[in-house]
Amino acid sequence: MSGTPFPDNKPQGCNNCIHYYITHDADFRYGCRALDFKSQRPPFVTVLEASGQRCQFFQKKS
């Protein structure tokens, strides 16, 4: 094992996920419909910090 949490060294971002949206809330700009929360940072960062894993709800936009 290389010591990195992801084999390709690249966590996926939210921009390409169908659940991701930008809110109208100036304090919490980024939202995730799958996890039902808003954040000051892109949701994948919060998920990665909390669980140490990639978001399990990521679904690529078509």
46 in a domain, yes or no? yes
How confident is the model at residue 25, as a pLDDT? 94
How confident is the model at residue 13, as a pLDDT? 86
**Residue 36 belongs to what domain range?**
20-51
3 in a domain, yes or no? no
**44 has a pLDDT exceeding 50:** yes
13 in a domain, yes or no? no
Question: What mean pLDDT, rounded, does the chain reach?
Answer: 85
Cβ-count burial of 13 within 10 angstroms (0-12 exposed, 13-18 middle, 19+ buried)?
middle
29 in a domain, yes or no? yes
Q: Which helix (H) or strand (E) holds 22?
A: strand 20-22
Number of domains in the chain: 1
How confident is the model at residue 8, as a pLDDT? 57
**1 has a pLDDT exceeding 50:** no
62 in a domain, yes or no? no
**29 has a pLDDT exceeding 80:** yes
42 in a domain, yes or no? yes
